[in-house]
Amino acid sequence: MKLTNKALMERDTKRDIGTKLLQAAQELRRGKWARKTTFEVMPDGGVLRLMVRSDGNIEKDELL
């Protein structure tokens, strides 16, 4: 369900974006990630996009 602009503003006033960004950067430095996207060029010129979750499960793979 989409939030209204008013609801978004109320939610955002309670959030500390700086702290969240700092935590995310620290997790990346430690090697923690939720999802990793890789692109592989195929011999026929196509590109394979592969999205893998941190637990090793493939979330999505598609030929672009």
Answer yes or no: is pLDDT of 52 > 80.
yes
How many structural domains comprise the chain? Answer: 2
pLDDT digits (tens, 9 = 90+) for 3-50: 899 988 888 888 899 999 999 889 888 878 788 899 999 999 999 999
Domain of 46 in residue numbering reads as 33-64
Q: 37 and 64: one domain?
A: yes
The model's pTM: 0.49
Q: 23 and 49: one domain?
A: no
pLDDT for residue 48: 94
Q: 23 and 41: one domain?
A: no
pLDDT for residue 1: 74
Residues 6 or more apart from 27 whose CB is under 8 A from it? 33
31-35, 49-53, 55-59: range with lowest mean pLDDT: 31-35
3-state secondary structure of 50: strand
